[in-house]
Amino acid sequence: AQSVSQHNHHVILSEAASLELGCNYSYGGTVNLFWYVQYPGQHLQLLLKYFSGDPLVKGIKGFEAEFIKSKFSFNLRKPSVQWSDTAEYFCAVIAGYSSASKIIFGSGTRLSIRP
Amino acid sequence: GAGVSQTPSNKVTEKGKYVELRCDPISGHTALYWYRQSLGQGPEFLIYFQGTGAADDSGLPNDRFFAVRPEGSVSTLKIQRTERGDSAVYLCASSLQRDNTGELFFGEGSRLTVL
């Protein structure tokens, strides 16, 4: 069965630091990959997604993620974080393109930014 | 409203009672998901509807859990004989695309507490 691993449970950074959050998935075939974010007190919302094409995808608020098929990874990056980036970040995957496919989420990484 | 609506936002019940949680998706969205999120964890897949039918209910933990979507719009998650371990935030999400390449739009969730 497909699964998603986020190894960093809690990351603490200072403003302007660079960010990289790890995400690995287990599935050998075609995948669609997502990063969702949950700001304090708000609902989950999409940050960015990868379906095909350029493995470097850009999302909202300066975030980007790189799909590395050989490493089964889809790490999230941002060159310079802001205090407003404090949130919980979830990586998610769909295996294949079937209409019966479900989206599986990782356990999340809590990001705390020191002002 | 324009977003996914979930009611109630909070539900406190006693062990052994029956609970219903309602989700009103974005108009026109054919796909509807139920997830469960415990503290410090990512959303755990429960069931996924395409239209009126459950395309995948493999995430329902046992036969105390059941969900319906009779007219392909509003969905109800039903939990019988609730247990303390059922306490969690139950999230509903909807999506426009039939092939699951689309963005999931989440509701605010229903927080269930079983005493």
pLDDT in tens, A44-69: 999 999 988 999 999 999 999 999 99
Ramachandran category for residue A16: left, alpha or beta (phi over 0 → left; psi -120 to 50 → alpha): left
| pLDDT for the residue A97 | 56
Mean pLDDT of the residues in chain A: 91
Q: Is residue B93 within 8 Å of B6, Cβ to Cβ?
A: no
What pLDDT does B96 receive?
83
Which residues are CB-contacts of B52 (< 8 A; sequence separation ≥ 6)? B69, B70, B71, B72
Chain B residues inside the 8 Å CB shell of A49:
103
Q: What is the pLDDT of residues B34-83, one digit of tens each?
A: 999 998 889 999 999 989 999 889 999 999 999 999 999 999 999 999 99
A112 vs B: CB within 8 A: no
Residues of A with Cβ-Cβ distance to B106 under 8 angstroms: 43-45
Report yes or no: B49 at the A interface, CB cutoff 8 Å.
no
Which DSSP state fits B19?
E
Q: Is the pLDDT of residue B99 over 60?
A: no
What residues of chain B lie within 8 A of the CB of A105, using their CB?
A: 35, 42-45
Cβ contact A91:A4 at 8 Å: yes
- What's the pLDDT at B33? 94
Predicted confidence at residue A51, as pLDDT, reads 86
Nearest CA in chain A to B110: A43
For chain A, say whether B92 makes contact (Cβ under 8 Å).
no
Interface of A with B in 40-79 (CB under 8 A): 43-46, 49, 51
- Does B56 lie at the interface with A, CB-CB under 8 angstroms? yes
Q: Are the CB atoms for B50 and B97 separated by under 8 Å?
A: no
SS3 (DSSP) at B40: coil
Q: Measured between alpha carbons, how far is B23 from B4 in angstroms, rounded to an integer?
A: 7
**pLDDT bracket for residue A30 (50, 70, 90):** confident
| Among A102, A107, A110, the residue to mutate for chain B (most B Cβ within 10 A) | A102
Query: A101: exposed, middle or buried (C-beta count within 10 Å: 0-12, 13-18, 19+)?
Result: buried
Per the listing, tokens 């989420």 go with A105
Q: How far is CA B87 from CA A80, B6, B15, B108, B110, in A?
A: 38, 16, 10, 16, 10
In a 13 Å sphere around the CA of A67, the CA atoms on its Cβ side amount to 20
